[in-house]
Structure 1
Amino acid sequence: MKKRIAIILMICMTLAIFTGCQEAGSKKQFVTIVTGGTGGTYYPVGTIFTTLWNEKLGEKVQASVQSSGGSVENLNMLKDGEAQLGIAMANLTLFAYNGEERFKDNKFEDVRFITALWPDVTQFVVTEKSGINSIGDIKGKTFSVGSAGSGTEYSTKLILETIGGLKFEDLNAEYLGYSEASSAIQNGQVDGMNAEGGLPTSAVSEITASKTKVKILEFSDSDYEKLHSVAPYYGQFTVPKGLYTGIDKDVKTVGVKSTLICHANLSEELVYELTKTIYENYESIVGSHKALEFMGLDQAIKGLPPVPLHPGAVKYYKEKGIEIPEYLLP
């Protein structure tokens, strides 16, 4: 009898220890960041962030990166609980939060900003032989407008309509990711592409270094004023000469800030640690991608439209003495 009781006690203790280990292990949080196509800027930077988080927060956090169709898909994945973090254009995040534009029937009030990143610069890359010298010249041409459902597709549509007076029906629109579009241009299948991203964008670097002669269309001050009048979140930016092979003069263009976003249900402690880890280790990652040069603690909330910051990000920024406007507070 005593032997049987002893065995039962041993089993109970073993179960208790096993359960305790499970509870301890469950404290590690698994997060996925959704980004964009592998030929853009979002995916490589998302990889840089997850590598950093795993290195510095490995006992608490296991982060993974996932490619996607871009901003719109990322916002939908966060809303549906398929990911916890994402990179998205600031304007599309605002539309999702307010239930406007393409999010009219898909409002996402639980989206939160963590930090501003870099400007997503609009780059209309066209072949020299296409005869395209302005936005209006794209009429009747085969042009990659971005992946279906992406922020690039939305921006291309807006720019073509506002500056060129064109609809997608006025051209042969192809819905390709950046790497696919670059290959299609080199193969003579399309005349050009819009590649929005941080500078440099890898797909643009690839095509400018190829045998295919291309150029980047310039946006005049008048073009910018037209666009800004209907989409005030756009700013003016420059693709500097020498950034890409064969681009030997500065090219004036436009762009929108990209942002790191998350779902409101993430814990304050987790988002605080993720935010802190990026900025406390900024010097060690800034050389990993040129787009990161446009970041910095002094730029962390600049250019953000009125969508709340996550409380964890707010906590870190207040610690660093950053004054946060009322419209960004949760």
Structure 2
Amino acid sequence: MLTAMALAVCTAFTAACSSGAGTAAPETTKEAQTQAPSETEKEAAPGAESEAAAAPEGQRHSLTMASGTNGGVFYMLAAAYSQLIPSVNPNMTINVEASAGTNENLALLSSYEADVSFANPGDALSAYEGKREFEGKAATNLRAVMSGNMNYFHVMTLEDSPIKTLEDIKGRKVSVGPTGAPYIMPEIIEAATGFVVNEDYTGEWMSHDQAAEALINGDIDAICATNAIPSSAYSSLTAAHPDVVFISLTEQEISNVTTKHPQSYVPTVIKAGAYSTIKEDTPTVGLRVLMFTNDQVDEDAIYQLTKAIMENTEAAEAIYAPAADYCLETQKESIDSYPLPIHPGAEKYYREAGLIQ
């Protein structure tokens, strides 16, 4: 099933580009596999060094990367790296496993059912500290690899809707993100306004694509979501429906969120033109996505993964624009605030790069 899922994800992503928890830990550390690279792995990603196609000496590694829901940033990042990394290091294979999002990713990695994934930093910290559904089973085996793209808090509705501010969602039906990331939107909304999900408004958990369809069909009154810019789901939504509007957060709402959750959220802006219906800058809050792993993944595997990503950011950006933020400059800004201990493989690379003394 995993192989089929990986093939489906990678095939769908390639086609798009061409058109314009828990089980016990394993007894031993994951070891490198020793098969020859496939013909697909030898194909260079856009912008990758051509000489990278020659397989270097060393261990072979096959990593399972849990992603996210269709139309979301985690899904797109995993698909991009499954294409890029084998092209710059033919000794590495990335197998993509679709997931429901952050919380399922944390469960999969803490139970050693996947090797690498993406999460929102606040949720990763909660899992590590044994909070929420990790109460009594703290995921202290999770390890940080790198910080990446900014995910922006989007609030969307239709032009003729009575919702003109975030506070206007009171009494309304609102999409609050995928089922695999159930806390982020309610957390932001409550911090900003004091509104509690399913008390002050009705929360509906659905994928980004499902939320877009539900808004147009009148099944929900607004969408609240965190996603990279541009989000494929919301780019398509706004392109097809020019009456979709974006709601700004007030200065007080932004202050409320960043004061209550200083380790998770920062003030930011969705720039005018980011989507076809945004005509002026839209103040909001954002968070930097965390790529993470667990303590059983081989040190050299994570070292090679980190090296491949850090040294090929332009090639990654050519596949999926938000991958540009998975770079050394981002790590310089965020490495001291990773919510998890750093994996030894990533630490080795950052020491070589001069980020850690």
Mapped partners of 2:224, 2:99: distance in 1: 17
Matches within 5 A, 1:89-238: 89-150=120-181, 153-169=182-198, 170-211=200-241, 213-233=243-263, 234-238=265-269
**Residue 279 of structure 1 corresponds to which residue in structure 2?**
310
Q: 1:141-175 CA distances to partner (integer Å, 9 max, x unpaired)?
A: 1111112241xx31211122222222222223211
**Residue 66 of structure 2 corresponds to which residue in structure 1?**
34
Q: CA deviation at 1:195?
A: 2.2
- More helix by percentage: 1
Q: CA deviation at 1:102?
A: 4.2
| 1:305 aligns to 2:338 (yes or no) | yes
- Contact 2:242–2:276 under 8 Å retained in 1: no
Mapped partners of 1:104, 1:293: distance in 2: 35
Identity percentage of aligned residues: 27
Q: Counterpart of 2:333 in 1: which secondary structure?
A: coil
Mapped partners of 2:343, 2:298: distance in 1: 9
Residue correspondences, number: 299
- Contact 1:195–1:201 under 8 Å retained in 2: no
Residues 54 and 266 of structure 1: CA distance in aligned 2, closer, same or farther (over 3 Å): same
Mapped partners of 1:181, 1:133: distance in 2: 19
- Which runs of 5 or more residues in structure 1 are unaligned? 1-22, 325-330
Q: Counterpart of 2:179 in 1: which secondary structure?
A: coil
- Which runs of 5 or more residues in structure 2 are unaligned? 1-32, 37-58
Give me the CA root mean square deviation. Answer: 1.9
Q: TM-score scaled to structure 2, two decimals?
A: 0.79
Counterpart selection for 1:290 from 321, 329, 332: 321
Q: 1:233-280 CA distances to partner (integer Å, 9 max, x unpaired)?
A: 210111111110111101111011101111111111111000001111
**Residue 3 of structure 2 corresponds to which residue in structure 1?**
none
Residues 175 and 308 of structure 1: CA distance in aligned 2, closer, same or farther (over 3 Å): same
Mean CA deviation greater in 266-275 or 45-54: 45-54
Q: 2:150 is matched by which residue type in structure 1? A: P
Counterpart selection for 2:89 from 57, 60, 77: 57
Q: CA deviation at 1:301?
A: 5.1
**Residue 77 of structure 1 corresponds to which residue in structure 2?**
108
Mean CA deviation greater in 25-34 or 225-234: 25-34
Larger radius of gyration: 1
Q: 1:178-235 CA distances to partner (integer Å, 9 max, x unpaired)?
A: 0111111122211111221111111111111123612111112211111122111210
- Contact 2:175–2:206 under 8 Å retained in 1: yes
Q: Counterpart of 1:37 in 2: which secondary structure?
A: coil
